[in-house]
Structure 1
Amino acid sequence: MTITILGSGTSLGVPMIACKCIVCRSTNPKDKRLRSSVLIQTAGKNIVIDAGPDFRQQMLASGISHLDAILITHAHKDHTAGLDDVRAFNWINNTHANVYAEASVIESIKQEFAYAFSESKYPGLPEIVLNNIDNKPFIVDSLPVVPIRVMHHRLPVLGFRIGDFSYITDANHIPEGEYEKLYGTKLLVIDGLRYEPHISHFTLQQALEVIDRINPERAYITHISHQLGLHSEVNKTLPPGVELAFDGLRLELI
């Protein structure tokens, strides 16, 4: 399994528009962060988690020519706004795009992209098949996927586990019963927004506490704000086996 971090930034991205802080002015490529997304390649399949406003740019950078599934964690625009760009895969591969999401998220997608689901469709619109999932394991082309219920303040969100890889973004709480799904994870990517408390995201310290409890072999922090600081400085402060993710990071899991 190969995991590529397509985007490791928060909803505003890094650099943030109009910001002149040291992080937003950094020339280090690891401080340039698109909206959070990840590509999982295993058993000949390409699966993306979340398709935010940087989806087109991320797909071009990944170099993939087909997409088997998009898993959506929740309905916020920084995780869904790029779905119109599945049109390219529709045309190149002459097939629809399979999107997996909870019922409430599906309804939001239908409203946001109503033109794609109208009875009388304009030629060239995205071809999307919405697959309703809940907090129970499901199959994507013979590949088992385990949803993980987490909370984004009061909003229920899904993380996902595929094999020994687990991905949790936009969360500030994991219900006690969901930890059982995470134990045994070898590679964990988890939300760690900044140092200061936030109403709907783990702080870096809270993310480290979750990592310590799950005890993966390797862990990476994602959904990073410019407020966390420079990659080169923050990364040096992290415990063994934990690093900041960055856009384009490729991870192998055997």
Structure 2
Amino acid sequence: MDQLTFLGTGDSMGVPRMYCECAVCADARTSGHNRRYRSSVMLNTPEGELLIDCGPDWVTQMEMLGKRSLGRALITHPHHDHIAGMPEWFDACRWTKSRGTVFAPDSVFATIRRQYPWLEKRLTYVPNDDGMDFGGWRIRPWEVCHGKNGTSFAYRFEKNGYRWAYCSDAFQLTEQQKKPLHGLNMLVLGTNFYKEDAAIESRSVYDMTEAFDLLLETKPGLVYFTHMSHGVDIGAGYVLPANALLARHGLAVTLGL
């Protein structure tokens, strides 16, 4: 059976924040319960592994898995916390004389090429605007609102009647953007806070209380919240829907009916 492993569940800065002495950051430094690397997951299939997002904690995440190489990655959008590990992946490929394969929409590659113009010497870019197939999964990207940060891409996966989606960076989705979230067995959704008090125009990701309304509308079978900031305490006992859980790094979820 295929499996999804959470390698990171943190927001763009991760937890702990270097400068911060809040209770959540203090706990992250001691017990480690609230330590959160930048959001990323690994899809394991009979065909091999597919990493989703390659952020600045990539080396640590690969070490956690005991891995010394990576073959393929799927990128959601070209923000630092989702692509900053790619130069280190390039370096690993250079020293091992191998190549990696990166899947993303063309607009994502356009930004990556501007930021890291040398990566294609060792990483092959494969546009997936029209969808792609991997490990028996039909994978389809769609563009979603990322609030003040512009747009991101979410991905819907379908295989043998099982449907799940990865939507790490989204906010105030339109009705059209919500459509691929309907009919899911599982949803991985980014939520920076339980309840965020910042002005709407300054925000880029749902909070959990806003996500509850989205879940009532789209009705996924199971939900994992990810992309959480130091405003989230994993042990706080938040009131959540019965089908919703806070993800932790190392958590492995079986995919399939």
Bucket of the pairwise TM-score, normalised by the shorter protein: 0.7 to 0.9
Asked whether 1:131 is paired with 2:114, we answer no
Paired with 1:175 and 1:71, the residues of 2 have a C-alpha distance of 24
Q: What residue number does 1:206 align with?
A: 210
Paired with 2:128 and 2:165, the residues of 1 have a C-alpha distance of 17
Change (3 A) 1:94 1:165: farther
Unaligned runs of 5+ in 1: 118-125
Unaligned runs of 5+ in 2: none
Paired with 1:182 and 1:239, the residues of 2 have a C-alpha distance of 17
Q: What residue number does 2:172 align with?
A: 173
Report the secondary structure of 2:33's partner residue.
helix
Pairing of 1:16-27 with structure 2 (within 5 A): 16-26=17-27, 27=30
Shift of 1:214: 2.2
Contact 2:4 2:41 in 1 (8 A): yes
Asked whether 1:220 is paired with 2:224, we answer yes
Shift of 1:64: 4.3
Change (3 A) 1:137 1:173: farther
Normalising by structure 1, we get a TM-score of 0.87
Paired with 2:67 and 2:177, the residues of 1 have a C-alpha distance of 32
RMSD: 2.2
Q: What residue number does 1:161 align with?
A: 156
Shift of 1:162: 1.8
Pairing of 1:1-254 with structure 2 (within 5 A): 1-26=2-27, 27-64=30-67, 67-87=70-90, 90=93, 95-117=98-120, 127-134=122-129, 136-140=130-134, 143-153=137-147, 155-163=150-158, 164-194=163-193, 195-197=195-197, 199-228=203-232, 230-234=233-237, 236-254=238-256
Paired with 2:174 and 2:71, the residues of 1 have a C-alpha distance of 30
Change (3 A) 1:161 1:92: farther
Matched to 1:207, the amino acid is: A
Paired with 1:204 and 1:196, the residues of 2 have a C-alpha distance of 9
Paired with 1:223 and 1:245, the residues of 2 have a C-alpha distance of 9
Paired with 2:219 and 2:13, the residues of 1 have a C-alpha distance of 30
Contact 2:109 2:125 in 1 (8 A): yes
Matched to 1:170, the amino acid is: D
Paired with 1:160 and 1:249, the residues of 2 have a C-alpha distance of 20
Contact 2:71 2:99 in 1 (8 A): no
Shift of 1:65: 5.6
Contact 1:3 1:251 in 2 (8 A): yes
Shift of 1:209: 1.8
Paired with 2:179 and 2:117, the residues of 1 have a C-alpha distance of 38
> What number of residue pairs does the alignment pair up?
243
Normalising by structure 2, we get a TM-score of 0.86
Contact 1:190 1:221 in 2 (8 A): yes
Paired with 2:32 and 2:212, the residues of 1 have a C-alpha distance of 24
Q: Bigger CA drift: 30-39 or 141-150?
A: 141-150
